[in-house]
Chain A
Amino acid sequence: MCGTSTSKQYDDTEPAQAPMSRHMGIDRPAPGSGIKVNFQDSKGNLLKTVEANEGDDILAIAHEYDIDLEGACEGSVACSTCHVILPPEYYDLLPEPEDDENDMLDMAFGLTDTSRLGCQVKLTKEMDGMDVRLPAATRNMFVDGKKASH
């Protein structure tokens, strides 16, 4: 089963390359020149402060800096895996979520009044210094989220 014609190698047939990241890459700004974003864990502890450019979205920024934020549908607003929680003052700077984003937020775990999908939050200069909190995700949701039996 070896000798595949594709450029990537599966099934340990060849020395493999590092798994690639599919998310649209963004360019890091020169240190000190970008818009600062503080990623926090679900308890509000700082994970990492990073810099990005105007127009970059939170999901792409998280990927660029190895923050544990998933984008299962790769930013096409078909899942809720990149759910983030913003401080109210920054949340209010954003345009209202569209219906499709709200439909996905309906299914997000640990939804708050200032929740957004990271892929839909595009940085502006006013957001410099914004805290972005990742929601808690535990397996207990299968107990909590269990529907009453019919």
Chain B
Amino acid sequence: MKLAIIGGGPSAFYVASRIFQLLPAAKPSSPSLRIHLFDRLWAPHGLVRYGVAPDHPEVKNCTHKFDAAALDPRLRFFGNVNVGDPANPIPHAINLPLSSIFKNYTHILFSTGCTLPTLHPALPPSTYCIPALSLVHWYTQHPTNPPPPPLENVSHVSLIGNGNVSLDVARMLLTNPDVLSKYDVPQHVIDHLSRSNVKHVSIIGRRGPLEAAFTTKELREMINLPEASMIPLDLDSMVPVSKDSLTRQQSRVLQLLAKGSAKPYGTTSKTWSLDFLRSPVGLAPPSATSQAQLKLAHTKVDAKTSRAVPTGETSVFSTDLVTTSLGFRSPPSSLFSSEDLGHLRTISGRLVSSSGHVLQNAYASGWASTGAKGVLASTMIDAYAVADTILTDLMPKDEPVKTTPASPTREQGVADDDVAEIVMNPNPHPEDPPEEIKEALKEGMVTTYSDWKKVDEEEVRRGEVLGKERERMGWEEAREFLTKTKPRT
């Protein structure tokens, strides 16, 4: 098997790692195996580098396992390579057509994630309405390079959506930059945050506390913020009287909310609120005399469907910055993507074409396959299951690999017959990447894993000098650094 993995995030590395674990190089029965990872970003690890909140450094420990996988001589990484997607927002990435992957590999795995923010129909992006993903990209120095949010002129922030990304952004805005500066936050971000005038962050959700998308850990971090307090909640009006049917997580979230923030409301200069049962219906722009006006429909949770339904009442928030944090989807332009699903169409990790047929030797894993949900642990379990699927298809039937039971359900749009479409090449060059990649490698336009490790070490070294976890490089800086350190050949 010569497998091309499109994407170099956690799902891609967990699949590679699992395949190596199940097919050790030293074992004579292991088939010939090459795995090439292509990432449109120059640095690997996807959301672990460009998504995990800076104040959660322990989550990034998973990269040690990715490093271990990359040490296997059967793996190669090619960064700064955009495969197939014409809507690529990374200006310096080189473009490689999918046909080139089909020609040069026996198998393909899409681990492309969900790279676009889900927008709110009533809240189009503007200078005062920014997707949370742009803020995350700003504070992680993502190669899309979005402008910093106008925090100097912002006192009131409205976050739409109450998932963990929303709470990450809230923590970044409500934590003292001196605390953040020891983490992996670029210096220019710290400088910008130091000039912030944010006083209140409102976290708005369509449904109630029982349906909130955040996890207990992230809520607890908000509750324990040293310099910000929460406006107390009237929980009785939002939660049904009977608490028998609550899950463990729901009960624990309710306990936390009832206790309120560690710093009592009124004792801090910065505040935050959880505004449940509110759904945005419009946003009037700011004027010379007034802030932007965010109109919210009041909702209640339908007991049968668990959906938010409007009560007919509305209210208006005066706010300076609206940030939408409503999840992510894969680009609708990408091949095999289903616009309704917001991700690729798959069955048990096998890719399904637009005509509804399974594509032979083509797979998808992670958010590209499941949609944007779950934490790192769920991504890992999914990746291991997809690795098992790939090996089940690869190995002779009398030599079963250990597999995870796959869901037998057929998703809508999957054809009823067993016809498989073939796009991959059964006999490509056994080792080499596509010609375009070989050329771009010579020009220094593609990063390898050893390039990344050099940058990684240098970033940590620069961080040590500044008394922080690391100081990041951008592409231009990384490229220059790599050119300087490269021995003349």
Interface residues of A (CB under 8 A from B): 1-6, 8-13, 15-22, 70, 72-74, 76-81, 99-100, 102-104, 106-109, 111, 137-143, 145-150
**With contacts A74-B61, A99-B220 known, is A1 near B215, CB below 8 A?**
no
Decide if B248 touches A137 in the complex (CB within 8 Å). no
Q: Which residue of B is nearest A105, CB measured? A: B248
14 contacts between A and B (CB under 8 A): A2-B450, A3-B487, A5-B454, A8-B453, A9-B450, A72-B376, A72-B380, A73-B61, A76-B61, A103-B217, A139-B407, A141-B378, A148-B305, A150-B307
Interface size on B, residues (CB 8 A): 65
Alpha-carbon separation in the docked complex, A126 to B377 (Å)? 31
Chain B residues contacting A104 (CB-CB under 8 Å) are 217
**With contacts A11-B450, A103-B216 known, is A79 near B377, CB below 8 A?**
yes
Q: B381's contact among A8, A11, A139, by CB below 8 Å, is which?
A: A139
Decide if A74 touches B68 in the complex (CB within 8 Å). no
Chain A residues contacting B307 (CB-CB under 8 Å) are 148-150
Alpha-carbon separation in the docked complex, A79 to B286 (Å)? 42
B436 to chain A, nearest CB (A): 16
A-facing residues in B309-350 (Cβ within 8 Å): 348-349
Max chain A C-beta neighbours (<10 A), residue from B305, B451, B453: B453
Q: Which residue of B is nearest A21, CB measured? A: B68
Chain A residues contacting B70 (CB-CB under 8 Å) are 10-11
Q: A102's contact among B65, B216, B370, by CB below 8 Å, is which?
A: B216
A-facing residues in B183-234 (Cβ within 8 Å): 206-207, 211, 213, 215-217, 220
Alpha-carbon separation in the docked complex, A17 to B448 (Å)? 18
Alpha-carbon separation in the docked complex, A96 to B489 (Å)? 60
Q: B370's contact among A15, A142, A149, by CB below 8 Å, is which?
A: A142
**With contacts A11-B77, A79-B377 known, is A72 near B61, CB below 8 A?**
yes
Decide if B74 touches A106 in the complex (CB within 8 Å). no
Alpha-carbon separation in the docked complex, A132 to B453 (Å)? 37
Alpha-carbon separation in the docked complex, A135 to B441 (Å)? 44
Decide if A148 touches B306 in the complex (CB within 8 Å). yes
Decide if A111 touches B487 in the complex (CB within 8 Å). no
Q: A107's contact among B215, B407, B453, B489, by CB below 8 Å, is which?
A: B215
Decide if B72 touches A16 in the complex (CB within 8 Å). yes
Q: B71's contact among A3, A9, A145, by CB below 8 Å, is which?
A: A9
B396 to chain A, nearest CB (A): 23
Alpha-carbon separation in the docked complex, A4 to B381 (Å)? 33
Decide if B407 touches A10 in the complex (CB within 8 Å). no
Chain A residues contacting B58 (CB-CB under 8 Å) are 73-74, 76-78
A13 to chain B, nearest CB (A): 7
Decide if A19 touches B69 in the complex (CB within 8 Å). yes
Alpha-carbon separation in the docked complex, A103 to B72 (Å)? 35
Interface flags, B57-80, vs A, CB<8A=1, else 0 = 011011011011111111111000
Decide if A138 touches B404 in the complex (CB within 8 Å). yes
Decide if A139 touches B448 in the complex (CB within 8 Å). no
User: Does B429 reach chain A (CB closer than 8 Å)?
Assistant: no
Interface flags, B15-29, vs A, CB<8A=1, else 0 = 000001000000000
B437 to chain A, nearest CB (A): 11
Decide if B381 touches A141 in the complex (CB within 8 Å). yes
A102 to chain B, nearest CB (A): 7
Can you list the 9 inter-chain pairs with the closest CB atoms, starting with the nearest?
A76-B58, A19-B68, A10-B449, A103-B217, A139-B385, A148-B306, A16-B73, A78-B58, A22-B64
Q: B216's contact among A10, A106, A150, by CB below 8 Å, is which?
A: A106
Decide if A79 touches B450 in the complex (CB within 8 Å). no
Alpha-carbon separation in the docked complex, A140 to B349 (Å)? 12
A117 to chain B, nearest CB (A): 11
**With contacts A79-B375, A141-B381, A148-B306 known, is A22 near B73, CB below 8 A?**
no
Decide if A142 touches B382 in the complex (CB within 8 Å). yes
A116 to chain B, nearest CB (A): 14
A-facing residues in B365-390 (Cβ within 8 Å): 370, 373-378, 380-382, 384-385
User: Does B173 reach chain A (CB closer than 8 Å)?
Assistant: no
Q: Which residue of A is nearest B17, CB measured? A: A19
Known: A13-B450, A19-B68, A70-B380. 19 other contacts (CB 8 A): A3-B486, A10-B448, A10-B453, A12-B75, A22-B68, A72-B376, A74-B64, A77-B58, A81-B377, A103-B216, A103-B220, A104-B217, A106-B248, A107-B215, A139-B406, A142-B373, A142-B382, A147-B213, A150-B211
Chain B residues contacting A79 (CB-CB under 8 Å) are 59, 62, 375-377
Decide if B20 touches A19 in the complex (CB within 8 Å). yes
Alpha-carbon separation in the docked complex, A9 to B71 (Å)? 6
Interface flags, B74-98, vs A, CB<8A=1, else 0 = 1111000000000000000000000
Chain B residues contacting A142 (CB-CB under 8 Å) are 370, 373-374, 378, 382, 407
